[in-house]
C-alpha cells in the first residue's frame, strides 16, 4: 500500500484494552489516523476517550494490542527520542536540576558533549523567556514557567515530532491562553509536527490545523475537522464562531455519553 | 523573536521587602536563642544553689562547679576514650551506610525480592537488638569487634528501611518522562532514582549515626574494656558522680555536634528540595 | 502463593544451613536450631529458671510504671510546648537537640542515682518513651488544619471546646501512633537497662545465662522476651485500632 510521501505518522487500526479491577476496558477501538509533516493536529474528546493512550502509543510508551503505528515508514517499538519528543501535563521536571540542566536532559541521555548541550539549552532559554532563570530550581518557578521548561526540554532534541499531552491543563485560564500564543509562535518558526491533546475547545480552535474529535470509551475517531484559517486566529470571527459551535456539538454528545457511563459505573 | 512579555515576572517580591523580612526573622531568632541561653543559665544556677545548699545529695547530684572541676581532672582521659568510641562508631557507620543503602536500593527496586523479603526485614527490625548482644559478645569476645558489629546492626535497619521506602516512592512521572526521552535502565538509576533519593539517604544517614553511637556505647557498657561506654560504666560503679556528669556532658555535646554537622550537610546537598 | 512458598523455602534453608554450620563449628556458641525447642520447654516448665514468673512480673511492672510516667510527661510536655507557641519555639529545639543524643548516655547516671533496682530501669524506660510521645503530640498539633480551627472560631467555640472537638480528633491518628512507638521504646529501654545490669527481670536472667555460658537457656529466654515484646505491641495496635474507630 502506498502512502502519500508527506505522511509522517501513520496510525493503522490500533486497539488497546486495559484490565481493570472491574473487568477489561477498551481504551481504543480500531483507530486509524494519518498525520502529515508540519501539521498541528489536536486530539480532543471527553475523559477516558483514549486520547492520551493514543499519544502514548505514538510516543512508544504504550504498545497497541492490535494494529501498528509507523513514523517515517518505520514501525514504533519504543520511545524514539530522535524523532519524537514528549511534553506531559505534569511538567515532570527533575527537582534537583536547574532550569538549564532540565532542558538539556534529553541531550544528556543521548551522550551529547557537555559544552554542546549546555550551549543548545542556553540558547533555547531566550525564546522560552527563561534566560533569567537558568540557574533556578523547579520549586522556584511558577507553573507556567515549569511547563515552558518542559517544552524547552522537548524542543532541545530538535525532533520532527512534538507530542503534547494537555501541557497547559494545570494552568489558570489566562496563562493558558498566553502560553498557547507563545507555543504557536514557536511552532510556526520551527515547523515541527505537533500532536496536541486537550480538553479545551479554545486551544483546539486557536492552535490547530486539524482537530480530531474522539468518541467516549471505547475511543474511536468520531470526526476530523480541518482548519485552514490563517494565524493568529480571530476567535470572534464568524467562521470561527460557526466552527466552535460545530465542534462543541460533536464533543458535547460524546461528553454526555462519557458522563452517563460514569454515572452508570458509579451506581 | 523577543521573549514573551510576562517572562520577567517570577516568584518573590521586590528587593526592599525581602531585606526587611530577613531582618525581622533574624531578630526573632536572636530572641529565641537568647531565651534558650537564659533558661539554661537559670537552670544551672538553680542547680548550683541546690547542690551547695544541701537540698540534693552531692554524692548523687554534684554541683555544676564540681562537674567542671572534675572535667578538668579527667578531661584528657575522657577525650581519649571518646576518640576510641568514635573510631569504632565511624567504622560501624561506614559499613552500615554501604550495606544499608545498597540493600535499600536492591530491595526498593526489585518488587519481587521485596515482596518475599519484606516480612523478614520488618520482623528482624522489630527484634530489640539488645537481646542478641550477649550472643555477639560470646562469639566475638571483648574488644572492638563486637562493638563495631553491634553498631553496624543498629544503624543498618533504619537506613535500609528509609532508603527502600524512598526508592519505592520515586515519582512515577519522573520515571515515565525519562523513559520517554529514551533512558535505558542504568540511566534511569543513575539520572533519576539516585538523585531523587538523596534527601532520604541523608535523613537515614543522620538517623544512622545516632544509632551507631548508641550501639557502640551499649557494647562498651556491657562488655567493653575501652571506650566511653566503659568509662561511664566504671565511673558509675565507683560513685564518681562529678566525673560521670562531666563525661556524660562531653559525649552529649559530641553527639549533638555530629548530628548538627550532618544537618548542615543535609541542607547543603538537598537544597533543591525547598 | 509463590511468594509464600519462597518465604518458607528461605526459612527452611536458613534453619538447615545454621544447623549444619553450628554443629560443625561450635554447637555451644553457635546454638543450632534443634536445641532450642527442648530448652524452651525447659524454661516454660520452669525447670531451667524456676523463678521466671517472678522476673517476668518485675519486668512487666517496670514497663507499666515507666510507660504511665512517659505518657503523662509526654502528653504534658507535648501539649505545653505545642499549645503555647513561645514556650514551644524556645524549648522544642532543645528537646530536638537532646533527641540527637543516644539515650544510653544517660543510663550510667541513672544507675548511679537509682542503683541496680527497678527504679533505674523505670527511669530509663521513661526517658526512652517520653521523646516519641512528646514529638508525636507536637507533630499532631502542627498538622491540625488551620481551616478547621477558623471554622470553630467562626461558630463561636471557646478554647476548651475547640480543643475537644477539633484538635483532639484531628491529631488522634498521629498521637496514637506516637503512644504506640513510645510503648515500644519503653519496653526496649527497660530490657536494655536490665541486660546492662540488674538484680531482677528477664534481662537479668539473660545476663545470668550469658555469664554462665548457658547458651541454650539464653536463646529460650530471648524467645520468651520476644514474646513479651510482641504481645505488648499487639496490645498497643489493638488499642490503636479501637481508638481509630472511636474517632470516626
Q: How would DSSP label each residue in B51-119? A: HHTTSS-TTTS--HHHHHHHHHHHHHHHHHHHHHHHHHHHHHHHHHHHHHHHHHHHHHH-HHHHHHHHH
Cell of B104: 535499600
A168 vs B: CB within 8 A: no
Q: Is the pLDDT of residue B5 over 80?
A: no
- Cα–Cα separations (whole angstroms), residue B223 to B1, B22, B142, B152, B215: 76, 52, 6, 17, 12
Q: Return d(Cα C248, Cα C242) in angstroms, integer.
A: 10
pLDDT tens for C141-178 read 888 888 888 888 888 888 888 888 888 888 888 898 89
Which residue among B173, B180, B192 places its CB closest to the CB of A61?
B180
CATH 3.30.2130.30 for domain C35-247? no
**Average pLDDT score over chain B:** 87
User: For residue A69, what are the β-bridge partners?
Assistant: A11
Chain B, 141 to 200: residues with Cβ < 8 Å from chain C are none
Q: Which of C188, C174, C216, C194 is nearest to C74 (CA)?
A: C174
Using 50, 70 and 90 to split pLDDT, how confident is the model at B154?
very high
- Cα–Cα separations (whole angstroms), residue B11 to A140, A141, A171, A174, B15: 7, 7, 16, 17, 12
Q: Assess contact for B74 and B247: CB atoms under 8 A.
A: yes
What pLDDT does B61 receive?
85
Q: Assess contact for A50 and A27: CB atoms under 8 A.
A: yes
User: Touch between chain A and chain C (3+ CB pairs, < 8 Å)?
Assistant: no
**Looking at residues B199-220, what average pLDDT do you find?**
93
What pLDDT does A266 receive?
58
pLDDT tens for B109-122 read 888 888 888 888 88
pLDDT tens for C178-202 read 999 999 999 999 999 999 988 899 9
Q: Assess contact for C194 and B133: CB atoms under 8 A.
A: no
Sheet harboring A23-36: ordered strands across? A23-36, A7-20, A66-71, A74-75
Rounded to a whole number of angstroms, the distance from the CA of B250 to the nearest CA of chain A is 38
Q: Please provide the DSSP assignment of B133-194 as one string.
A: HHHHHHHH-SSHHHHHHHHHHHHHHHHHHHHHHHHHTS-HHHHHHHHHTT--HHHIIIIIIH
Q: Is the pLDDT of residue B10 over 50?
A: no
CB atoms B273 and A109 under 8 Å = no
Q: Which of A22, A12, A101 is nearest to A54 (CA)?
A: A12
Using 50, 70 and 90 to split pLDDT, how confident is the model at B22?
confident
Q: Provide φ and ψ at C229, rounded to 5°.
A: -60, -45
Beta-strand pair A161-165/A84-87: parallel
Instruction: Report the b/e string of C158-170 with b at 16+ CB within 10 A.
Output: eeeebeeebbeeb
CA A218 vs. chain centroid, Å, equals 20
Find where cell 472560631 sits. Answer: C153
Q: Is the pLDDT of residue B218 over 90?
A: yes
Q: Return d(Cα A107, Cα A120) in angstroms, integer.
A: 9
Q: Return d(Cα A196, Cα A43) in angstroms, integer.
A: 6
Give me the torsion for CA of C177, C178, C183, C189, rounded to 10°. Answer: 140
| B21 or A122: which leads in pLDDT | A122
Q: For C196-245, what is the HEC assignment?
A: HCCCCCHHHHHHHHHHCCCHHHHHHHHHHHHHHHHHHHHHHHHHHHHHHH
CB atoms B245 and C3 under 8 Å = no
Cell of A85: 519528543
Q: Return d(Cα A41, Cα A9) in angstroms, integer.
A: 11
Q: Say what the pTM is.
A: 0.83
| C109 or B225: which leads in pLDDT | C109
Using 50, 70 and 90 to split pLDDT, how confident is the model at C68?
very high
H or E element in which residue C1 lies: none
Chain B, 236 to 265: residues with Cβ < 8 Å from chain C are 236, 239, 241, 244-245, 248, 251-252, 255-256, 259-260
Q: Which residues of chain A have pLDDT under 70?
A: 1-5, 261-267
- Give the start-to-end residue ranges of the domains of chain C: 1-30, 35-247
Q: Which of A143, A198, A88 is nearest to B178 (CA)?
A: A88
Chain C residues with CB under 8 Å of B115 CB are 3
H or E element in which residue A110 lies: none
Q: Assess contact for C218 and C35: CB atoms under 8 A.
A: no
Burial class (CB in 10 A: 0-12, 13-18, 19+), C68: middle
Q: Which of C193, C183, C70 is nearest to C120 (CA)?
A: C193
Considering only CA atoms, give the Rg of chain A: 19
Alpha helices in chain A (DSSP H): 51-58, 99-103, 105-109, 114-128, 143-156, 173-190, 201-207, 238-266
| C13 or B24: which leads in pLDDT | C13
Q: Return d(Cα A64, Cα B177) in angstroms, integer.
A: 20
Q: Is the pLDDT of residue B149 over 60?
A: yes
H or E element in which residue A191 lies: none
CA C175 vs. chain centroid, Å, equals 16
Q: Please provide the DSSP assignment of B27-40 as one string.
A: HHHHHHHHHHHHHH
CB atoms B1 and A185 under 8 Å = yes
A238 vs B: CB within 8 A: no
Q: Return d(Cα B112, Cα B201) in angstroms, integer.
A: 22
Which residue among A90, A109, A182 places its CB closest to the CB of B187?
A109
Using 50, 70 and 90 to split pLDDT, how confident is the model at C86?
confident
Which residue among A86, A139, A189 places its CB closest to the CB of B180?
A86
Q: Assess contact for B224 and B147: CB atoms under 8 A.
A: yes
Q: Name the percent of chain C lying above pLDDT 90.
A: 54
- Report the sign of the C-alpha dihedral through residues A142, A144, A147, A152, in that order: negative
Instruction: Report the b/e string of B71-80 with b at 16+ CB within 10 A.
Output: beebeeebee
H or E element in which residue A193 lies: strand A193-198
Q: How many CA atoms lie within 13 A of B9 on its CB side?
A: 7
What pLDDT does B6 receive?
39
pLDDT tens for C26-63 read 888 888 898 899 999 988 888 889 999 999 999 999 99
Using 50, 70 and 90 to split pLDDT, how confident is the model at C73?
very high
Considering only CA atoms, give the Rg of chain C: 23
Considering only CA atoms, give the Rg of chain B: 25
Query: CA of C194: which chain B residue's CA is closest?
Result: B130
Chain B residues with CB under 8 Å of C109 CB are 236, 241, 244-245, 248
Chain B residues with CB under 8 Å of C31 CB are 135
Long-range CB pairs of C231-235 (<8 Å, 24+ gap) are C232/C63, C232/C183, C232/C184, C232/C187, C233/B126, C233/C180, C233/C183, C233/C184
CA A128 vs. chain centroid, Å, equals 18
What pLDDT does C143 receive?
85
Chain C residues with CB under 8 Å of B128 CB are 187-188, 191-192, 225, 229
User: Touch between chain C and chain B (3+ CB pairs, < 8 Å)?
Assistant: yes
Q: Which of C31, C210, C22 is nearest to B134 (CA)?
A: C210
Chain A residues with CB under 8 Å of B173 CB are 88, 90, 92
pLDDT tens for B65-120 read 888 888 888 888 999 999 999 999 999 999 999 999 999 999 988 888 888 888 88
What pLDDT does A22 receive?
81
What pLDDT does B2 receive?
42
Amino acid at each position: 500500500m502506498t502512502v502519500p510521501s508527506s505522511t509522517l505518522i501513520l496510525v493503522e487500526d490500533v486497539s488497546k484494552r486495559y484490565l481493570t479491577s472491574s473487568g477489561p476496558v477498551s481504551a481504543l477501538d480500531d483507530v486509524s489516523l494519518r498525520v502529515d509533516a508540519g501539521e498541528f493536529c489536536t486530539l480532543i474528546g471527553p475523559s477516558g476517550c483514549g486520547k492520551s493512550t493514543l499519544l502514548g502509543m505514538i510516543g512508544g510508551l504504550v504498545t497497541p494490542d492490535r494494529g501498528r503505528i509507523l513514523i517515517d515508514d518505520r514501525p514504533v517499538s519504543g520511545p524514539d527520542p530522535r524523532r519524537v519528543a514528549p511534553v506531559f501535563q505534569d511538567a515532570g521536571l527533575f527537582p534537583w536540576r536547574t532550569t538549564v540542566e532540565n532542558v538539556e536532559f534529553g541531550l544528556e541521555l543521548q551522550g551529547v558533549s557537555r559544552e554542546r548541550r549546555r550551549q543548545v539549552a542556553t540558547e533555547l532559554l531566550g525564546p522560552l523567556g527563561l534566560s533569567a532563570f537558568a540557574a533556578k530550581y523547579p520549586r522556584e518557578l511558577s507553573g507556567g514557567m515549569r511547563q515552558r521548561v518542559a517544552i524547552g526540554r522537548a524542543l532541545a532534541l530538535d525532533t520532527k515530532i512534538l507530542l503534547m499531552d494537555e501541557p497547559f491543563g494545570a494552568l489558570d485560564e489566562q496563562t493558558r491562553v498566553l502560553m498557547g500564543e507563545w507555543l504557536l509562535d514557536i511552532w510556526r518558526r520551527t515547523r515541527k509536527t505537533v500532536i496536541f491533546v486537550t480538553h479545551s475547545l479554545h486551544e483546539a480552535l486557536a492552535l490547530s490545523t486539524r482537530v480530531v474529535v474522539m468518541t467516549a470509551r471505547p475511543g474511536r475517531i468520531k470526526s476530523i475537522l480541518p482548519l485552514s484559517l490563517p494565524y493568529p486566529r480571530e476567535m470572534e470571527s464568524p467562521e470561527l464562531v460557526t466552527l466552535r459551535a460545530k465542534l462543541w456539538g460533536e464533543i458535547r454528545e460524546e461528553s454526555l455519553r462519557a458522563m452517563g457511563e460514569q454515572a452508570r459505573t458509579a451506581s | 523573536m523577543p521573549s514573551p512579555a510576562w517572562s520577567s515576572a517570577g516568584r518573590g517580591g521586590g528587593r526592599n521587602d525581602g531585606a526587611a523580612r530577613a531582618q525581622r526573622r533574624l531578630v526573632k531568632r536572636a530572641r529565641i536563642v537568647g531565651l534558650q541561653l537564659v533558661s539554661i543559665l537559670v537552670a544551672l544556677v538553680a542547680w548550683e544553689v541546690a547542690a551547695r545548699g544541701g537540698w540534693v545529695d552531692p554524692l548523687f547530684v554534684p554541683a555544676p562547679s564540681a562537674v567542671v572541676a572534675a572535667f578538668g581532672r579527667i578531661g584528657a582521659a575522657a577525650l581519649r576514650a571518646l576518640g576510641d568510641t568514635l573510631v569504632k562508631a565511624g567504622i560501624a557507620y561506614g559499613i552500615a551506610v554501604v550495606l544499608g543503602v545498597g540493600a535499600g536500593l536492591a530491595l526498593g527496586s526489585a518488587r519481587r525480592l521485596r515482596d518475599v523479603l519484606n516480612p523478614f526485614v520488618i520482623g528482624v527490625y522489630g527484634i530489640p537488638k539488645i537481646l542478641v548482644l550477649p550472643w555477639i559478645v560470646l562469639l566475638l569476645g571483648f574488644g572492638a569487634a563486637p562493638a563495631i558489629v553491634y553498631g553496624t546492626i543498629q544503624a543498618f535497619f533504619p537506613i535500609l528501611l528509609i532508603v527502600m521506602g524512598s526508592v519505592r516512592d520515586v515519582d512515577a512521572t519522573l520515571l515515565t518522562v525519562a523513559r520517554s526521552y529514551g533512558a535505558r535502565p542504568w540511566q534511569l538509576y543513575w539520572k533519576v532514582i539516585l538523585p531523587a533519593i538523596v534527601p532520604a539517604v541523608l535523613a537515614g544517614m543522620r538517623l544512622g549515626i545516632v544509632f551507631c553511637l548508641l550501639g557502640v556505647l551499649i557494647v562498651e557498657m556491657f562488655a567493653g574494656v575501652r571506650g566511653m561506654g566503659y568509662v561511664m560504666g566504671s565511673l558509675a560503679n565507683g560513685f564518681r558522680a562529678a566525673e560521670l556528669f562531666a563525661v556524660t556532658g562531653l559525649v552529649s555535646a559530641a553527639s549533638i555536634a555530629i548530628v548538627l554537622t550532618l544537618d548542615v550537610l543535609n541542607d547543603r546537598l538537598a537544597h533543591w528540595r525547598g | 502463593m509463590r511468594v509464600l512458598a519462597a518465604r518458607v523455602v528461605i526459612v527452611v534453608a536458613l534453619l538447615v544451613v545454621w544447623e549444619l554450620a553450628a554443629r560443625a563449628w561450635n554447637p555451644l556458641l553457635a546454638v543450632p536450631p534443634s536445641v532450642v525447642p527442648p530448652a524452651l520447654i525447659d524454661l516454660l516448665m520452669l525447670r531451667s529458671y524456676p523463678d521466671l514468673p517472678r522476673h517476668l512480673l518485675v519486668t512487666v511492672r517496670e514497663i507499666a510504671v515507666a510507660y504511665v510516667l512517659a505518657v503523662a510527661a509526654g502528653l504534658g510536655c507535648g501539649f505545653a510546648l505545642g499549645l503555647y507557641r513561645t514556650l514551644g519555639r524556645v524549648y522544642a529545639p532543645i528537646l530536638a537537640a537532646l533527641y540527637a543524643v543516644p539515650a544510653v548516655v544517660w543510663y550510667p547516671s541513672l544507675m548511679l542515682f537509682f542503683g541496680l533496682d527497678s527504679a533505674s530501669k523505670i527511669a530509663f524506660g521513661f526517658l526512652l518513651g517520653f521523646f516519641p510521645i512528646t514529638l508525636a503530640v507536637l507533630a499532631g498539633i502542627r498538622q491540625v488544619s488551620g481551616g478547621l480551627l477558623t471554622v470553630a472560631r467562626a461558630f463561636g467555640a471557646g478554647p476548651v471546646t475547640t480543643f475537644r472537638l477539633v484538635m483532639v480528633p484531628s491529631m488522634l491518628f498521629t498521637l496514637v501512633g506516637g503512644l504506640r512507638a513510645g510503648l515500644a521504646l519503653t519496653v526496649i529501654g527497660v530490657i536494655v537497662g536490665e541486660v546492662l545490669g540488674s538484680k531482677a527481670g528477664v534481662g537479668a536472667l539473660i545476663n545470668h545465662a550469658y555469664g554462665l555460658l548457658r547458651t541454650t537457656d539464653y536463646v529460650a529466654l530471648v524467645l520468651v522476651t520476644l514474646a513479651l515484646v510482641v504481645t505488648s505491641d499487639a496490645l498497643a495496635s489493638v488499642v490503636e485500632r479501637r481508638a481509630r474507630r472511636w474517632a470516626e
